[in-house]
């Protein structure tokens, strides 16, 4: 329970930072998808089974905070988490040396998948004609990759710390039970 | 010869067929069980629900949820935005000499004020006495303004908006014009919550406002271009638009007061069907730098 509350707060504040903090300080409007990065990290570390509900929550909050049609970011977050989880199982199990680099590669992949899905879903929601060219050759996604990667480098250590805290909380709860 | 010809009577044959059918069903069930693992079921159900929500897009359905979210998030959003503003100001301060910065700030303010005054003067010169009386309604002192802080924004996508810290509790209503400085139009209120309101900017793809070329009296509409800029559209072929002309609200339709400054003409062109003229209009303000805006309540 305390772990769930902790993650809820983390996602909530990540979304608010994304909407009300980064746009004001990051030049060029290419601010990081903090909520997405956290969800991807959590998926890679704990698996899709445990993370999908947080992906739904994060997507819902992003939709509400950004005035998107509800479902747009939920769809992209859940699908991206699923795909990244499938890849993580294959590539990350045996790797310990290049673990960080592989994590960074997953963040890039997740950013691309999420970027494409969000544009696609927004076009469907707004009943616009689907043009697949801009989905794959989109400068915004290119800049987002750098932005998200930079943010991931900055928050990797705090996220690892948080992971340890949540594990400690879990083990304490188990000892009480 | 069929594989089950060795069976002697019809009863045995029928039992054999039933048995093979059961085996097939069992196989299918096992395969489907493998495919529809708990993880995949969760994924498929979530994606299907989201897909339906996206496709049918029931905007009003989630309004109460947005109300609750805006109430809960409002204090945090305001704090984060003000904090980030402070950080930005600090960075700006470090990046330039403080005196020059202040001077520049004052000059920009003065420039905005003078631009608006020029707009009014040019307009007044061209209009008759009656229209000038109407124009007297435009000056800022005649407006009932509600000052509010910007607490959130998204300017890069097709929907360009700002989130302000005043809502229904402060008398804000949908459709009210939003300005900065001395009468420079920014957008209009599109959604109102208890303590917050969403402002759709002029650059939003759904924004359409009646406008006029102050110098030549050419009338048209200002439309947003997916967060990238604004277009002065639907201008008759017979009208004249020149580069650097000033574009202001025309007051037609009654949604916006006449004489609110929008921007300057950057370039002109004909529409694809060659029926109308278009002009790219450069907005007077940088939306990403807005901290305080004013809502015109009357």
Q: What is the mean pLDDT of each run of 10 residues along chain A (177 residues)?
A: 82 90 76 90 87 91 87 90 87 70 89 87 73 64 86 88 80 69
pLDDT tens-digit map of B202-244: 888 888 899 999 888 899 999 887 666 788 988 988 888 888 8
Determine whether the interchain pair A21/B83 forms a contact, defined as Cβ–Cβ distance below 8 Å: yes
* Structure-token pair, residue B238: 């017979």
Other Cβ atoms within 10 Å of A102 Cβ, number:
16
Q: What is the pLDDT of residue A165?
A: 82
pLDDT tens-digit map of A69-91: 888 889 999 999 999 998 887 77
- Cα separations in angstroms, B260 against B29, B199, B211, B235, B295: 69, 17, 9, 19, 13
Q: What is the pLDDT of residue A79?
A: 92
Determine whether the interchain pair A71/B288 forms a contact, defined as Cβ–Cβ distance below 8 Å: no
Query: How many residue contacts between A and B have a Cβ separation below 8 Å?
Result: 115
Distance from CA of A170 to the nearest CA of B (A): 23
Distance from CA of B139 to the nearest CA of A (A): 30
> So where are chain A's domains?
2-16+33-176
Asked if residue B159 has pLDDT above 70, the reply is no
Q: From A85, which residue of chain B is nearest by alpha-carbon distance?
A: B39
Q: What is the pLDDT of residue B178?
A: 92
Nearest-angstrom CA–CA distance, B252 and B209:
9
Asked if residue B129 has pLDDT above 70, the reply is no
Nearest-angstrom CA–CA distance, B178 and B212:
18
Tell me the pLDDT band of B36, cut-offs 50, 70 and 90. low
Q: What is the pLDDT of residue B126?
A: 65
* Structure-token pair, residue A91: 């590539």
Distance from CA of B38 to the nearest CA of A (A): 8
Q: What is the pLDDT of residue B220?
A: 92
Q: Which of A67, A85, A128, A135 to mutate to test the interface with B (most CBs of B within 10 A)?
A: A67
In the predicted model, what is the mean pLDDT of chain B? Answer: 79
Asked if residue B121 has pLDDT above 50, the reply is yes
- Calculate helix-pair angle for A139-176, A34-46, nearest 10 degrees: 50
Asked if residue B20 has pLDDT above 80, the reply is no
Q: What is the pLDDT of residue B137?
A: 39
Determine whether the interchain pair A65/B152 forms a contact, defined as Cβ–Cβ distance below 8 Å: yes
Nearest-angstrom CA–CA distance, B154 and A11:
19
pLDDT tens-digit map of A47-63: 888 888 999 999 999 98
Q: Which residues contact B248 (CB under 8 A, 6 or more apart)?
A: B119, B123, B211, B212, B214, B258, B259, B260, B261, B262
Asked if residue B116 has pLDDT above 70, the reply is yes
CB B196 within 8 A of CB B151: yes
Q: Which of the two residues, A165 and B182, has the higher pLDDT score?
A: A165
Q: What is the pLDDT of residue A5?
A: 84
Q: Which residues of B47-83 are buried (b: 16+ CB within 10 A; e: fewer)?
A: beebeebbeebeeeebeeebbebbeebbebbbebbbe
Q: What is the pLDDT of residue A29?
A: 65
Determine whether the interchain pair A21/B54 forms a contact, defined as Cβ–Cβ distance below 8 Å: no
Q: Which of the two residues, B5 and A57, has the higher pLDDT score?
A: A57
CB B139 within 8 A of CB B121: no
Q: What is the pLDDT of residue B125?
A: 66
Q: What is the pLDDT of residue B135?
A: 41
Residues 102-141 of A with CB under 8 A from B: 121-122, 124-126, 140
A85-89, B86-90, B99-103: the lowest-pLDDT one? B99-103
Tell whether ipTM is more than 0.90.
no
- The helix/strand/coil state of B192 is strand
Average pLDDT over residues B60-68: 82
Largest CA distance in chain B: 112
A65 contacts in chain B (CB < 8 Å): 69, 73, 152
Asked if residue B139 has pLDDT above 80, the reply is no
Asked if residue B155 has pLDDT above 70, the reply is no
Nearest-angstrom CA–CA distance, B173 and B148:
14
Q: Which of B54, B56, B60, B292 to mutate to test the interface with A (most CBs of A within 10 A)?
A: B54
């Amino acid at each position: 329970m305390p772990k769930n509350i902790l993650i809820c707060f983390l996602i909530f504040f990540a979304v608010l930072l994304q909407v009300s903090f980064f746009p004001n300080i990051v030049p060029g409007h290419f601010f990081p998808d903090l909520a997405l990065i956290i969800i991807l990290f959590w998926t890679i570390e704990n698996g899709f089974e445990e993370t999908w509900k947080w992906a739904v929550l994060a997507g819902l909050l992003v939709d509400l905070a950004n005035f998107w049609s509800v479902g747009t970011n939920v769809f992209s977050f859940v699908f991206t988490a699923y795909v990244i989880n499938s890849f993580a199982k294959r590539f990350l199990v045996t790797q310990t040396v290049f673990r960080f680099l592989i994590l960074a590669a997953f963040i890039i992949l997740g950013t691309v998948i999420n970027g494409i899905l969000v544009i696609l879903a927004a076009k469907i929601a707004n009943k616009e004609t689907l043009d697949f060219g801009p989905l794959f050759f989109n400068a915004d996604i290119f800049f987002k990759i750098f932005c998200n990667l930079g943010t991931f480098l900055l928050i990797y250590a705090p996220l690892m710390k948080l992971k340890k805290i949540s594990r400690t909380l879990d083990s304490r709860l188990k000892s009480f039970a | 010869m069929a594989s089950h010809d060795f069976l002697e009577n019809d009863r045995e044959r029928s039992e054999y067929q039933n048995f093979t059918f059961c085996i097939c069903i069992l196989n299918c069930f096992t395969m489907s069980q493998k495919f529809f693992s708990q993880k995949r079921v969760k994924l498929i159900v979530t994606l299907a629900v989201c897909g339906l929500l996206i496709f049918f897009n029931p905007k009003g359905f989630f309004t109460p949820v947005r109300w609750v979210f805006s109430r809960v998030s409002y204090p945090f959003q305001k704090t984060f935005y003000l904090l980030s503003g402070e950080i930005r100001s600090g960075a700006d301060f470090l990046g330039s000499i403080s005196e020059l910065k202040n001077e520049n700030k004052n000059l920009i303010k003065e420039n905005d004020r003078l631009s608006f005054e020029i707009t009014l003067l040019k307009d007044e010169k061209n209009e008759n006495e009656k229209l000038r009386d109407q124009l007297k309604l435009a000056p800022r002192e005649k407006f009932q303004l509600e000052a509010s802080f910007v607490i959130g924004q998204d300017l890069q996508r097709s929907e360009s908006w700002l989130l302000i810290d005043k809502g229904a509790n402060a008398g804000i209503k949908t459709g009210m014009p939003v300005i900065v400085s001395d009468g420079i139009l920014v957008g209009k209120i599109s959604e109102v919550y208890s303590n917050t309101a969403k402002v759709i900017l002029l650059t939003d793809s759904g924004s359409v406002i009646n406008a006029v070329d102050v110098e030549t009296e050419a009338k048209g509409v200002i439309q947003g271009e997916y967060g990238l800029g604004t277009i002065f559209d639907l201008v008759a072929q017979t009208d004249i638009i020149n580069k650097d002309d000033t574009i202001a609200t025309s007051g037609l339709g009654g949604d916006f007061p006449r004489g609110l400054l929008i921007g300057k003409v950057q370039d002109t062109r004909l529409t694809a069907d060659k029926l109308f003229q278009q002009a790219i209009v450069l907005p007077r303000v940088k939306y990403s730098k807005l901290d305080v805006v004013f809502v015109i309540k009357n």
